[in-house]
Structure 1
Amino acid sequence: MDYQTITLAVRDTVAVLTMNRPDVMNALNTQMRAEITHAVKAAQGEGARALVLTGAGRAFCSGQDLGDGATAARMDLERVLRDEYVPMLTAILDCPLPVIAAVNGAAAGAGANLALVADVILASEEAFFQQAFTRIGLIPDAGGTWFLPRHVGYQRAMGASLFADRITARQAVEWGMVYEAVPAADFDAHWRARAAQLAAGPTETYRLLKEAMRASFENRIDEQLALEGRLQGRLGQSRDFKEGIVAFLEKRPPQFEGR
């Protein structure tokens, strides 16, 4: 597919999906949502073992493109969320690869919640997160009402949504919304190194780790313990587990193959 609003580059088993509308702070329009959905799936067929979402220019993503006020005012928001956002978010959620959101700048509205869909968020210290929806008379969408309280708790999720305050990268780390905040000068090299680390890791282990972590929010403890047993039993038969044991005994780094 010839992408117009994003770029997708796969190098050394790391796929980097860059939202590429810097003139509008990578605001999401219909075409970008479709291209992100396609690219997330395409990356899995390109030999990638880790996926990074990031933005071009000074922003990660400023959310829904409201640049055309007349069009925005007439927009059928329920249809757009159902037919355009849900497929995009589902593609990321269903991605078997570990997904990093490398938040290089502003992440506002649906852009903030797009980051929350990733498995782990790394942020530049110049980045910020903002649930800007109430400023235009809306509630958080793109999964915001589900992900945000699970990341930061009810009070912080409500406060951030009601007041639409900017949450700095450092504050987001303190709240448990972001894993790391890195000085801007080091950020690009840092997230690339983190992505390379995951791409060299046990890919099937990461996939089942995602499954177990997500199930824990709904399972009783006995159900979760049983799930851990089933998944661990499968991994115990994997080539990567065997390699990990041999490498440990031989005191060398493991050479995982993702199987």
Structure 2
Amino acid sequence: MSVLIVERQDTLKNLILNRPERGNALNAELVDALSEEIEISGRDGTRTLVLRGAGKVFSTGFDLKEIESLSDSEVAHRVLNIERMLQAVFHAPMVTVALVRSMAFGAGADLVCCCHRRIATEDSRFCMPGLNFGILLGTRRLTQRVGVDNALGVLTDTRVFKAHEALEMGYLTAISAEESWPDHIEAAKQSGDAIAKEHVSSMFEVVIPDTRQEDMADLQASVSEPGLVDRILEYRDRMRAKSGKKSSQSQ
């Protein structure tokens, strides 16, 4: 079974993250598949690219399942590959749409942030916890979307924020029930088809600051700090303990 489902309809392409048993977590295989398909989309006539998740959620972010068996350098390599994929989405020469069901956490939330149109169901939640383990992923992109004050609040508090707050700060562009998603897709497709591709590319180059080198340098420095795996595992264990405590309190 492919970790990424690709559906093509004329100039519209759907990319469906297909690891529902793992919350569509971004493992190496899925990141590579996304990177490859985004590169292909830049030259195969795709004018509108839609990203969504199979199953109940959009994406839970970086896949922590194998992390205990990886070295710091191996994890750093995977994080840097995620950043390359995110940069490709952010600077893609086409209209990009993220459709979020329920939740997008970590690198999954960063993937949403990279898209031009960011649409979620009303019950959706988001979190960018990278600073908990010292990873600077997508900081400038988030700031471009939501402004300095909101970005600082989201990143330093590393808290969960809900759909209406996300819309108010500019992280989301719309809140929509799933039955209305086809309308949003059609509107995006009309926009994508209306302007010549080279003009779209030129517009994006002017409107979207190109900070790819700076972003990669900052991320490289942050993942090069010793103890990366330990910091991530400590965060994971804290979240598990917190989740267990909430469950016991609700019983």
Partner of 1:236: none
Note if contact 1:110-1:140 (Cα within 8 Å) is conserved in structure 2. Answer: no
**TM-score of the two chains, using structure 2 as the length reference:** 0.75
Alignment partners' CA distance in 2, 1:85 and 1:57? 22
Note if contact 1:22-1:57 (Cα within 8 Å) is conserved in structure 2. Answer: yes
Question: Aligned Cα RMSD in Å?
Answer: 2.3
**Aligned residue among 212, 225, 228 for 2:206:** 212
Partner of 1:132: 129
Alignment partners' CA distance in 2, 1:216 and 1:34? 22
**Unaligned segments of structure 1, at least 5 residues:** 218-259
Alignment partners' CA distance in 2, 1:215 and 1:134? 23
Alignment partners' CA distance in 1, 2:163 and 2:196? 28
Note if contact 1:107-1:130 (Cα within 8 Å) is conserved in structure 2. Answer: yes
**Unaligned segments of structure 2, at least 5 residues:** 212-251
CA deviations on 1:103-155 (whole Å, 9 max, x unpaired) are 223110011011111122122222221112345x33341x2x11122222223
Local SS of the residue matching 1:196: helix
Partner of 1:194: 187
Between 1:190-199 and 1:36-45, the stretch displaced more is 190-199
Identity of aligned residues (%): 25
Local SS of the residue matching 1:122: strand
User: Deviation of residue 64 (structure 1)?
Assistant: 0.2
Give the letter for the 2:187 counterpart.
R
Partner of 2:217: none
Alignment partners' CA distance in 1, 2:42 and 2:96? 12
Work out whether 1:117 is the aligned partner of 2:111: no
Partner of 2:171: 177
Which one has the largest radius of gyration?
1
Alignment partners' CA distance in 1, 2:192 and 2:107? 27
Alignment partners' CA distance in 1, 2:77 and 2:7? 31
Note if contact 1:14-1:195 (Cα within 8 Å) is conserved in structure 2. Answer: no
CA deviations on 1:56-82 (whole Å, 9 max, x unpaired) are 111111110012351367563432233
The structure, 1 or 2, with the larger RCO (C-alpha pairs under 8 Å, 6+ apart) is: 2
**Aligned residue among 85, 90, 95 for 2:92:** 95
Aligned length: 210
Local SS of the residue matching 2:16: strand
**TM-score of the two chains, using structure 1 as the length reference:** 0.73
Alignment partners' CA distance in 1, 2:73 and 2:21? 22
